[in-house]
Amino acid sequence: MNKQEEKIIRKADWTSPSNIAFIKYWGKCGNQLPSNPSLSMSLKNSTTRTIVSVIESRDKPAFQFFFEGFKESTFDKKIDLFLKNAYNFFPSLQNKSLKIESCNTFPHSAGIASSASAMSSLALCICEIAEEKSSNYLNDAEFYRKASELARLGSGSASRSVYGGFSTWGKTSLLENSSDEWATFLDFDIHPVFSKLNDTILIVSSEPKKISSSEGHQLMNNHPYAKERFKLAHKNLECLLKAFQSGDTEEFIRVIENEALGLHSLMMSSDPAFILVKPHTLEIINRIIDFRKKTGLFLCFTLDAGPNVHLIYPDSIKSKITDIINSELLAFCENRKVIWDEIGEGPVRFTSENVKI
Ligand code: PMV
């Protein structure tokens, strides 16, 4: 059979979001288990769409990966490892040939981590295919839990991206049903001041990171502050959950910024140390703090494992935030690059047979 005659036996097509952590996961143990619980907000516009097709092929088992329409081998090792994990979950997929096509809504070199959206969309596709193949249909809660667990094995933060709104990952006595194995969505009444948060990402640098997240997590194993850090994450989660319920925006800001700066302090005090923030990151942060002092507006920053600054604020003050971004902050962004995002509703499944990316 030649390539033109490739016969698609089964197909799944999912779009899944990136997320921004408010309580950071930094440090892991065992098989991709977190050293502390984390909490994140799923985004709306920064997403990955993945289509997985099971194809009839002579070369079994195999996979081909296409990124934005082109065959791409850079991610082969990661996908290979991910599929090995998937086969443990779903042995019936083991001797199948898979074609995986993926594309992002955000530019590849924008400086946004794509592993959460990529791995969660892939996990959702694999779970759907396995479910259909076995005709063992799960209810929604079970399906997303399975997808979260599988996504986690590809990238820890991806476990949280299978849900919209806010989700947590990691065992905590504060939340029933929380687990180290999979994420759960935050299902309690969140105060309306937090109901429509924006995340505007100021791109300070889109250069690839010199140290990957995996290497950073590893460095927590012998980190002198690890024990205190994991304790603090639990405490910060507790404070954040309380703020979410009471509507205490000052407390929200305190916790979010403490987590962001704490994450980067851990990097700087690792052995070997590494620094991901840039001078412009600090310039932006200082200006945000000054602006907040001056205006009293509900605006705060957080950082991922990189130099780019995420501005978190309610949609109701978007025009004021746009003004300060344009007048003061754009000057510190690489090519004046900004990504406008906001809280999102989570993954979307496409069902049409004819969708193409
Ligand atoms: O999922 P990973 O292995 O890329 O690690 C993500 C780590 C942070 O983004 C820094 C924090 C988090 O909880 O998302």
Ligand 1 site-directed mutation target among 22, 24, 277, most atoms within 8 Å of CB: 24
91/130 Cα distance (integer angstroms): 9
Pocket test for ligand 1, best of 213, 217, 236, 310 (most atoms within 8 A of CB): 213
As a whole number of angstroms, the distance between CA 87 and CA 79 comes to: 12
Burial class (CB in 10 A: 0-12, 13-18, 19+), 282: middle
The CB of 197 under 6 Å from ligand 1? The reply is: no
pLDDT of residue 113: 73
CB 19 within 8 A of CB 119: no
> Which residue from 148, 26, 126 is spatially nearest to 79, judged by alpha carbons?
126
What is the whole-number distance in angstroms between the Cα of residue 4 and the centre of ligand 1? Answer: 40
Task: Give residue 1's pLDDT.
Answer: 42
Among 24, 33, 157, which residue has the most ligand 1 atoms within 8 Å of its CB, making it the best to mutate?
157
- What is the model's pLDDT at position 273? 97
Q: State the Cα–Cα distance between residues 37 and 157, nearest whole angstrom.
A: 11
Residue 153: per-residue pLDDT = 96
- Residue 233: CB within 6 Å of ligand 1? no
Contact between 212 and 274 (Cβ < 8 Å) = no
Going by DSSP bridges, is the β-strand pair 97-104/197-202 parallel, antiparallel, or unpaired? Answer: unpaired
For residue 185, what are the β-bridge partners?
167
Give residue 188's pLDDT. 86
Give the pLDDT of residue 112.
76
Compute the distance between CA of residue 79 and CA of residue 29 in angstroms, rounded to an integer: 21
For each of the domains in the chain, give its residue range(s) and CATH number, in order of start: 3-189+344-349 (3.30.230.10), 192-342 (3.30.70.890)
Decide whether any atom of ligand 1 lies within 6 Å of the 213 Cβ.
yes
- Between CA 88 and CA 81 the distance in angstroms is 11
Whole-angstrom CA distances from 73 to 65, 79, 100, 259, 260 are 7, 10, 12, 35, 33
Secondary structure element (H or E) that encloses residue 131, with its range: helix 115-134
Q: Which pLDDT belongs to residue 110? A: 66
User: How close is the Cα of 199 to the center of ligand 1, in Å?
Assistant: 17
Cβ-in-10-Å burial (0-12, 13-18, 19+) of 118 comes to buried
Q: Is the CB of 32 under 6 A from ligand 1?
A: no
Indicate the helix (H) or strand (E) that contains 279. Answer: helix 279-295
Which residue lies with its CA nearest to atom 4 of ligand 1? Answer: 213
In this predicted model, what pLDDT tens digit does every residue of 95-120 receive, in sequence order? 889 999 999 998 766 667 789 999 99
Rounded Cα distance between 313 and 18, Å, is 18
Q: Which residues of the chain have pLDDT under 50?
A: 1, 354, 356-357
CA distances from residue 56 to 5, 7, 59, 98, 272 in whole angstroms, order as listed: 9, 5, 9, 9, 48
**Ligand 1 pocket residue status of 157, Cβ below 6 Å:** yes
What's residue 134's pLDDT? 80
Report how far ligand 1's centroid is from the alpha carbon of 213 (Å).
7
Predicted local confidence at residue 331, as pLDDT: 98
Separation between Cα atoms, residue 205 and residue 333, nearest integer Å: 7
Contacts of 121 (CB under 8 A, 6+ apart): 14, 15, 16, 47, 48, 49, 50, 102, 347
Task: Write out the H or E segment, with its range, that includes residue 54.
Answer: strand 38-56
Would you state the pLDDT for residue 198?
A: 98
Contacts of 218 by beta carbon, 8 Å cutoff, 6+ apart: none
- Enter the tokens of residue 309: 């600054």
What does the DSSP 8-state code read for residue 343? B
Residue nearest to atom 6 of ligand 1 (CA): 157
What is the rounded CA–CA span in Å between residue 36 and residue 24? 8
Length of the chain in residues, anyone?
357
